Structure 1
Amino acid sequence: MTYQFRNPNILLAIVAALGLAGCGRPQSDETSAQGGAPSALVTVLSVKPETVVLVDELPGRVTAFRTAEIRPQVGGILEKRLFDQGAEVEAGQALFQINSDIFQADVGSAAAALQRVEAGLVRSQGKFDRAKQLVTSNAISREAYDDAAADVAQAKANVAEAQATLRRKQLDLAFTTVRAPIAGRSGRALVSEGALASVSSTNALATIQQIDRVYVDVRQPASQIDAIREAAQSGHLDDASKVPVTIFAASGKPYPVKGRALFSDISVDPGTGNVTVRVEVPNPDRLLLPGMYVRARMPRGVGHNALLVPQEAVVRDPAGTPQLVIVDDHKRATRRAVALGEIVDRRYIVTSGLQAGEIVVVQGQERAKNGAVVETAPFGAAAAAVTD
């Protein structure tokens, strides 16, 4: 069958299209034969030995550095509260005033009794002095002299007893002003004016807590302490007792203070299997309050020459074995099985399968086929250039 094209423009368009298609096919084949697919771009990191501190993040409770319950040492009616509730108080500051009328009267009575026995001592001393002069001339008997000496000794004892009684009465009078035994922050008053303060009462008048320094009692599994001890004895870890302890709020925000571990308890809680570790923490801004729930990052050892890689550098095979993609000097990628240790600051410690100075692919492992040549860029600075 023969077709006739009446419009020459249509005929020219068809010829041009066929010519372009014919020219494009050989050019594509030539490009494939000459260059092939471009190399994959990956970000890499050179692994260097580091010194790392291994830590455990554990729960703990804040305890006041010192706590004093304010109790009366004499009984009586409370006349005044002399401090602001919740305020800072100094050691020796007056907190409560107990009615002192009875105690002032007792002091006056004891002072009078002292004066009486002191007068008796003066009289006995005078008799003894005269007897001492007379006994040398045999004007009095030796027995009379001995009686005079005994009277002086008795009078001195009476004076000493009266002085002690007066001192005790003065102390009782001083105790009518109840003072703070320590410096710290006062709590609420547990009694009000007009209440009867009793020495035998089990209720305190108030409580003072020193919180410019606090304790954080951290609960640590006893099994972990055994592991730390074994690692230190084997030489794999150095002692971490001098490494500061970081304290975190329940929300995860760190406090701007560092603590130090003091000691661990000598007994294990049979219910939980935990041991309490006490940490002393400076608290100048009073951010940590007694009873608060916090978390402590407890160091348990210092490791040297550790090899660490970012978590995103680790890939796993279908069996779940961790692997790293290593780039050699010829920029050829190779997958290698490794053994991983703990995570420190979102990085794995590689315990075996990796040597210091090797280049590890951090991002773009899916594009780095085993044995393929790759283009590399430093991890971090050029990470934004790598896209999946």
Structure 2
Amino acid sequence: MILASSHFTRAVLGTALLALAACSDNAQEATPQAAGAQEQTETTEARVATLTVRPRRVVVYDELPGRVAALRTAEIRPQVSGIVRKVLFKEGSEVSAEQPLFEIDPAPFAADVEAASAVLARAEADELNASLKHDRIKALAESRTATAAALGDAKAALAQSRASVAEARANLTRRKLELAHATVTSPIAGRIGQALITEGGLATAGATNPMAVVQQLDRLFLDVRQPSMRREMLEEAVANGQGDEAGRMPVDILTITGKPYEYQGTIRFSDSAVDPGTGSITIRVEVPNPYDQLLPGMYLRARLPRSVHPNALTVPQEAVVRDSSGRPQLMVVGADRTASRRNVELGPLVERQYVILSGIGAGDEIVVRGQDRATDGTRLQTVAYQPAVGTDAK
């Protein structure tokens, strides 16, 4: 009886140990399954950077080369011939309007003035004599002492003497002008260059070579060439009130090294003819130059407006992905925080931002970074997109 009891006890203990081992194995199998389920839950949400699309004004530019020209250029030429006695300016300096620049020997012209004055005095004396004679004959004719023929001769002599006086007076005025022109002045204010004639040189009226050149440099012209079809688009933009407050389109200027110039230019006018060989038209841009940083003959680049989009929807360039056929797409975040791809139509690329012509609307939230971690229907964990340093933050 005692042996049977001990066998029963050992059987019960063995069964209990087997049950505990089975529970332990089940617990160990349940733990990896639970961990896998938790891991799957965590991987269903993709972490992405998003941006809400807002409309803004975008100007699309053409970057075109151009050559600088002075606003006004005056070639100093003599109006009388003679020997240059003095050069009255410092080369490379600023001169004012009507400032004397050269002095031509005035002695011959002063002598001509004195001679013309003498001729005028003689003519005035002859006029006085003819006038007195006319008055006497007229009185005699009234008393029937002088004939009508004599009176007619007196009138003709008086008219002739008066004409001589007018001629002598005009000649004197001419000689005085020549004396004044012996001092050569600048017609405009600006910077004068090299003196192309020195003291002792012969200045000749009507010469092809100038004595010096004065250029106005406080403002300059930049002449660029743009396709004629763009001109119509630009005029439409201005007509629609898309320019500045004065109705003009500002132009950004870049130096030849690509650095931005501190002042903006303004389109002054466009040429009235199209080059038949290239189909382009010349656009003249007026550029401020208060510190004489720019000089005529330099080459610059102008960012000329091509078109204006007053309410454009723009996205960063890196937000655009393409499908297997190359069509552009954007990944849009839905109201349930899931991802969906949309086909879009791309416009111009401006400062690393694509203008979106269709496919999305204002207020849509798009994925900019992390598109490779999400597919259609994937739940998204979003953070605000932060542009990289040196890129456009708009």
Say yes or no: does 1:41 pair with 2:47.
yes
CA distance in 1, matches of 2:387, 2:163: 92
- Residue from 8, 31, 34 that aligns with 1:30: 34
Identify the residue that residue 315 of structure 2 maps to in structure 1: 309
Would the alpha carbon gap of residues 192 and 28 (structure 1) be closer, same or farther in structure 2, given more than 3 Å must change? Answer: farther
CA contact (8 A) 2:78 2:206 kept: no
Give a deviation string over 1:116-168, Cα, whole Å, max 9, x none: 11111111112222223322222222222222222221111111100111111
- Which secondary structure state, in structure 2, belongs to the residue aligned with residue 256 of structure 1? coil
- How far 1:48 moved relative to its partner? 1.9
- Residue from 249, 259, 273 that aligns with 2:255: 249
Say yes or no: does 1:173 pair with 2:179.
yes
- Residue from 362, 375, 380 that aligns with 1:374: 380
Task: Give the CA RMSD over aligned residues.
Answer: 2.7
Say yes or no: does 1:202 pair with 2:208.
yes
- How far 1:382 moved relative to its partner? 11
CA distance in 1, matches of 2:184, 2:299: 33
- How far 1:309 moved relative to its partner? 0.5
CA contact (8 A) 1:43 1:382 kept: no
CA distance in 1, matches of 2:64, 2:212: 33
Identify the residue that residue 114 of structure 1 maps to in structure 2: 120
- Which secondary structure state, in structure 1, belongs to the residue aligned with residue 274 of structure 2? coil
Gaps of 5+ in 1: 1-21, 384-388
CA contact (8 A) 1:80 1:193 kept: yes
CA contact (8 A) 1:238 1:303 kept: no
Identify the residue that residue 217 of structure 2 maps to in structure 1: 211
Letter in 1 for 2:76: I
Identify the residue that residue 15 of structure 2 maps to in structure 1: none
Say yes or no: does 1:127 pair with 2:143.
no
Identity across the alignment (%): 49
Give a deviation string over 1:328-374, Cα, whole Å, max 9, x none: 11111122222211012321011122122110111222223332111
Say yes or no: does 1:157 pair with 2:146.
no
Identify the residue that residue 284 of structure 2 maps to in structure 1: 278
- How far 1:52 moved relative to its partner? 2.1
CA contact (8 A) 1:309 1:350 kept: yes
TM-score (norm: length of structure 1): 0.85
Q: Aligned residue pairs: how many?
A: 359
Gaps of 5+ in 2: 1-25, 390-394
- Residue from 69, 73, 84 that aligns with 1:67: 73
Letter in 2 for 1:134: L
- Which secondary structure state, in structure 2, belongs to the residue aligned with residue 254 of structure 1? coil
TM-score (norm: length of structure 2): 0.83
Mean CA deviation greater in 83-92 or 159-168: 83-92
CA contact (8 A) 2:233 2:307 kept: no
- Residue from 146, 150, 157 that aligns with 1:144: 150
Identify the residue that residue 22 of structure 2 maps to in structure 1: none
CA distance in 1, matches of 2:138, 2:292: 72
CA distance in 1, matches of 2:83, 2:348: 64
Identify the residue that residue 9 of structure 1 maps to in structure 2: none
